[in-house]
A and B are shown apart, each in its own frame.
Chain A
Amino acid sequence: MSELLEVRGLRIEAPKKDGPAIQIVKGVDFDVKAGEVVALIGESGSGKTTISLGSLAYTKPGLEFSGGSIKLKGDDVLTMEPSEVRNLRGNRVAYLAQSAAATFNPALTINEQVTESAVLHGIMTQDEADARAVELYHALELPDPDRIGFRYPHQVSGGQLQRLMAAMALVGRPDLLVLDEPTTALDVTTQIEVLKAFKKVIREEGSAAIYVTHDLAVVAQVADHIVVLYSGEVQEQGSVDQIINHAKHPYTKRLMAAAHAGPKPGMGDKLTDKHDQDTDNIQVKNMTAGYGEIVDGKPAITVLRDINMSVKNGHVVGVIGESGCGKSTLARVIAGLLPPAQGDIIMDGHTLKGLYKNRSKKDLQKIQFVYQMADTALNPKQLISEIIGRPVEMFQNLSGQKNREKVAEILRLVELPVEFAERYPSELSGGQKQRINLARSLAAMPEIMLCDEVTSALDSIVASNVVKLLKRLRDLTGVSFMFITHDLSTVAAFADEIVVLYAGRIVEQGPVDEVLSPPFHPYTRLLISSVPEMRIGWLEETMKKREMAVGIARGVEITDVGCPFYNRCPIAISGTCERVTAPTYELKPGHFISCHHDAKTILDIERNPQQVLHGFEKAIPDEKIAIIAE
């Protein structure tokens, strides 16, 4: 195979007026062969995005190319004239950004946007481009491929939009495709649907690709060749087999260690005396909540239905589910940010008022909400000493020197230097900001912390450090946690109990090891088997399983009656599941499951999926195959 892209000694730096330039990329060499997918992996700041953008002869503002060459089929893109660069971008090299939602213009139809670049570059006429787009929609296995192009971006689901962005990039038949973290922001089930489509279309089109990500398990599925980067330098590169199975460089090994091992029972710590207390800290009873005006105990849009759960003192409860299932809403209801329409939240023996404004100061102190994005959760104009000091002052009545001492103590608790008190949030890194975010909640001396996706926006290495910190905090302070995430592996390693939410209902809950071992609720099973494993060929194996194919191909449908998972469930009982609310029964003490099948049937299916599935074939009516947008 010939070299399609040749990167030699590439240097990119950020020039500074006073002093030497900051080196961002320090002499990187790698090749992309025709029809090959090369993955650039590393944590944020490793220069992977900067390098990938270099192949488009583009640098972010404030950076410049300072050496080396990037040759696309022999032409050095770094020395091209502006007119050649225009031709290069979108025509010879196409870029796929992380967020499809931000890429599409909500005011134009999908087709207009998918074909725009090819027509603009004069590669094809509008009719040719339209035909080509439909061909790609077929290849990407989009629902209703002949007409999906006439929809607007908000009329398709996130995963579909991500695939449509691939169509946008591929429409002009580029030589090279640059994919920048295209699945990072997606749910596991959506991620595998997108990965599968990407892999198929890249193979069919025979185009080469640079795949930028920090997720090794994903790389193992799609890449042919891996380049491991750290701090702008290549640490190690080789074929996917070499890197995944025989990594040599210690940094690669460290990345592998931080990468998600699949969720399995027994990954978490055993409950120690220190944090095992058998009393309820917070209890949610028959709670229904949603948005809009509440009429007769029913909100205009119901998000959560009939929630019953509890968090015991000192325990960690993981709440998992796909985006839109109501995880964050649950935490917001408990925190008093959204009053429930029905049901009660009981803490330490008394029912809490619905809205935070009506709660006592003591109640406000006991429950602390930790936001996902530290960037918006911390006031950029306040010093860390005020951000942490204010709750200390309010809830512990400490001021002056005592307040400063307390702030220093809390900073040490979250493993940050005491000097950070005199900094602003913008002077900290992402992981450090997240620690401050946690520290602010800790400063109130809460009984329970509601952590909303606190590790989702962080790199795997930084995220695993934050989880380590959370574990330490739990042991040191005895605080309870409600840990909301879509990342099953983190929950498996950190939580004591799991609550699985689907379309606003709890489908399964219980101790971690029980929930993660058979029998599974069909949805839990889908979630668990969707987590990519760091194993070559995992994607193909998984997609062969019929229940995966069904679960992945369809979207969430929020229903008023019956089991919400009905349309994606491989073992749904036609005529029952879509009409009757699934009964909730206790499998083992504390382990509840909501399903029309009894435990024995589910276990039988687990043991012998093919045979049993056959019997339920009829349960999936064909008209249900059409995919419903989320």
Chain B
Amino acid sequence: MTDKTASTEDMSVYDELPDAPPKKKIKLTWVGKLGVSVVLFWVLMVFIGPYIAPFHEADIIAYDSFMPVWSETEGEGFHLLGTDYIERDILSRVLWGARTTIGISFLATMFAYLVGVTLGIGAAVAGGWVDMIFSRVNDAILSLPSIMLGLLIVVALGTSIPILILTASVIYAASVYRIARALGQDIMVMDFVEAARVRGEGMWYIITREVLPNAIMPLATDFGLRLVFVVLFISSLSFLGLGIQPPMADWGSMVRQNLDGLGYGSYAAVWPALAIASFTISINLIVDDISASEGGTLARKMIS
């Protein structure tokens, strides 16, 4: 202990530990990459599907309904996936349907997020009676079964695409609100938020700079899942005949309309069903892969 100062200065090699390695980027495994490519394919189809489709979605051109895979209509062309119950080309309708189904679901999920996250994080930051009122109203909405509520709104207001988007977004905003509020509350108790409050920061800064950046990853993952639910919701409404109206093609109604074909050995109902499955499962694969690469923390946060 006598050479205290000398030894402390000489030993600079033992100074504080080397810098931590830079933060790792999210790396997808082949599963995630598969998901990304399938989703990208469908997103591409949203934009170019109608242009590359051999026929228009409403064209009744074939000789026969429920034509098998790889059949031909003289003078018109091939039906790669066969025809449906009123002699329309399935492939063309699946490609057209991507725009309707994915487009509407995406818009509806966007709106649900806009409303749900704003109110949810807002309630978490504001706390008190604001939080109380928002949350109880939200609980009431959540307690209603989504399909029944959807049917009710659609029956009351009529079936049009804007109404459909509105219905889906109201229903799903409620569950987004729950997640956003829970995430927000977790973050609100962190010391850095308290530090910002004591510094005199306004609510806007706290929401946008302190809370949202920390909630964005789990919310983005949830967005993927929520999109899947909305696709299935719109498809179920269409399946019941209250969603997209004919002759517009959408995957859900295509399944319903062609269901009879199964009895005649036609795959007409299978193709749109596969489209729904491939899109939704791929999104799930991406979500799972991201949360696995984050050590499963996202999944855990989303449950809470």
Contact = CB atoms under 8 A, between A and B. Distances in A.
A391 B196 CA distance: 9
Contacts of B199: 364, 390-391, 394, 444
A361 B200 contact: yes
B20 A429 contact: yes
A87 interface: no
A382 interface: yes
Interface in B184-208: 190-192, 194-201
A356 to B, nearest CB: 5
Contact of A364 (B7, B16, B200): B200
Interface stretch (B66-74, B85-93, B209-217): B209-217
Contacts of A356: 197-198, 200
A257 B103 CA distance: 68
Contacts of B198: 335-337, 356, 364, 369
A381 B187 CA distance: 12
A80 interface: no
Contacts of A254: 7-8, 11, 14
Interface string A390-420: 1100100000000000000000000000000
Interface centre among B22, B192, B201, B210 (most CB of A within 10 A): B192
Given A335-B198, A369-B198, A379 B210 contact: yes
A251 B214 contact: no
A230 B192 contact: no
B17 interface: yes
B11 A251 contact: yes
Interface string A427-442: 1110110000000100
A337 B20 contact: no
B1 interface: yes
Contacts of B216: 381
B23 interface: yes
Given A45-B17, A364-B199, A371-B195, A381 B213 contact: yes
Contact of B23 (A335, A382, A426, A429): A426
A253 interface: yes
Contacts of A361: 200
Nearest to A44: B17
Nearest to A387: B192
Contacts of A230: 14
B32 to A, nearest CB: 16
B213 A382 contact: yes
Contacts of A380: 214
A465 interface: yes
B76 interface: no
A377 interface: yes
Nearest to B23: A426
A178 to B, nearest CB: 23
A428 B192 contact: no
A376 interface: yes
B19 A378 contact: no
Interface residues of B, number: 32
Contacts of B191: 371, 373, 376-377
Interface in A356-374: 356, 361, 364, 369, 371, 373
A580 B14 CA distance: 54
A424 B199 CA distance: 21
Contacts of B4: 257
Interface string B8-45: 10110010111111110000000000000000000000
B190 to A, nearest CB: 5
Contacts of A256: 1
Contacts of B197: 356
B76 to A, nearest CB: 53
Nearest to B9: A254
A24 to B, nearest CB: 13
A377 B213 contact: no
Contacts of A390: 196, 199, 201, 209
Contact of A429 (B7, B16, B194): B16
A424 B20 CA distance: 11
A363 to B, nearest CB: 10
Given A256-B1, A257-B1, A257-B8, A432 B200 contact: no
B23 A424 contact: yes
Contact of B192 (A258, A379, A391, A432): A379
A48 to B, nearest CB: 14
A250 B192 contact: no
A4 interface: no
Nearest to A373: B191
Contacts of A424: 23
A200 B304 CA distance: 44
A347 to B, nearest CB: 15
Contacts of B209: 379, 382, 386, 390
A336 B194 CA distance: 11
Contacts of A379: 190, 192, 209-210, 213-214
A257 B192 contact: no
B231 to A, nearest CB: 30
A462 B7 CA distance: 15
Nearest to B216: A381
Interface in A330-365: 335-337, 356, 361, 364
B201 to A, nearest CB: 8
A78 interface: no
A627 interface: no
A461 interface: yes
Contact of B195 (A250, A253, A377, A386): A377
B19 A376 contact: no
Interface centre among B11, B22, B195 (most CB of A within 10 A): B195
A439 to B, nearest CB: 12
Interface in B205-259: 209-210, 213-214, 216
A44 B16 CA distance: 10
Nearest to A253: B7
B20 A427 contact: yes
A230 B17 CA distance: 11
A461 B14 contact: yes
Interface in A241-288: 250-251, 253-254, 256-258, 261
A390 B8 CA distance: 36
Contact of A431 (B16, B194, B210): B16
A315 B196 CA distance: 26
A204 B209 CA distance: 57
A379 B195 CA distance: 10
Interface centre among A251, A257, A432 (most CB of B within 10 A): A257
A431 B19 CA distance: 10
B57 to A, nearest CB: 44
A461 B8 CA distance: 10
Contacts of A377: 191-192, 195
A250 B7 contact: yes
A418 B181 CA distance: 37
Interface in B274-303: none
A427 B194 contact: no
Nearest to B193: A379
A530 to B, nearest CB: 21
A432 B16 contact: yes
Contacts of A251: 11, 14
A364 B16 CA distance: 33
22 contacts: A43-B17, A45-B17, A230-B14, A251-B14, A253-B7, A257-B7, A335-B198, A361-B200, A364-B199, A364-B200, A376-B192, A377-B195, A382-B210, A391-B199, A427-B20, A429-B16, A429-B18, A429-B19, A429-B20, A432-B16, A444-B199, A461-B14
Given A251-B11, A256-B1, A379-B214, 4 more contacts: A253-B7, A364-B199, A376-B191, A376-B192
Nearest 3 CB-CB pairs, A to B? A381-B213, A377-B191, A379-B192
